[in-house]
Amino acid sequence: MKWVTREFVHVDRTACPWLITKFIDPQAEFLFVPTEKIQEIVEAHGATPFDAPGVKLGHRDGKCSFETIIEEYKLEDPILHELAKIVHSADTRDTTLAPEGIGLNATMTGARFNMKDDFEAVEKATYVYDALYTYCKFKLLREKYSDELEKMSRRQQRDFLTEKMR
């Protein structure tokens, strides 16, 4: 399936392709075009638009596109919902929800100047979102097992959490 969004990717437009490929459409093909060309691409190629003004899978009700896609596709993974807080914070610059968003915003800002095009930026950003997903999983496990972890040495904590991460 083809997906289309605005060119010159940043946070939401690197996070959404990661989300779509990992959880919705593993064979997704992404197109990055000027905003004014999105509707033309939708009609010509049957592409699904995202993170663009006025589209169903865009910003709405205070949510960024990443959150809207999670909601529309009814993705219930609690780790994804934790990651969505970071993406929201980075994309909207509202860091009260997740201070990690500051780092993600900085990373994606710098990355887009190090890449030859949007395709490379999305491809290389995959590592960042994979790492953040794992971080969120770790964070949730640490919260869930906080009582048990308090009674363990650092080595035991690491071994325990490593086992739970699998």
Q: pLDDT in tens for each of the 166 residues of the chain?
A: 999 999 999 999 999 999 999 999 999 999 999 999 999 999 999 999 999 999 999 999 999 999 999 999 999 999 999 999 999 999 998 989 999 999 999 999 999 899 999 999 999 999 999 999 999 999 999 999 999 999 999 999 999 999 999 9
Tell how far CA 25 is from the center of its chain: 14
3 state SS for the chain: CEEEEECCCCHHHHHHHHHHHHHCCCCCEEEEECHHHHHHHHHHHCCEEECCCCCCECCECCECHHHHHHHHCCCCCHHHHHHHHHHHHHHHCCCCCCCHHHHHHHHHHHHHHHCCCHHHHHHHHHHHHHHHHHHHHHHHHHHHCHHHHHCCCHHHHHHHHHHHHC
Burial label for 73, CB within 10 Å (0-12, 13-18, 19+), is: middle
Cβ atoms of residues 30 and 1 within 8 Å: no
Cβ atoms of residues 128 and 104 within 8 Å: yes
Q: Beta-carbon neighbour count of residue 17 at 10 Å?
A: 27
Question: d(Cα 63, Cα 128) in Å, to the nearest integer?
Answer: 21
Query: What is the residue range of 30's domain?
Result: 2-165
Cβ atoms of residues 112 and 143 within 8 Å: no
- Virtual CA dihedral for 13, 14, 18, 21, nearest 10 degrees? 50
Q: Indicate the number of domains in the chain.
A: 1
pTM for this predicted structure: 0.94
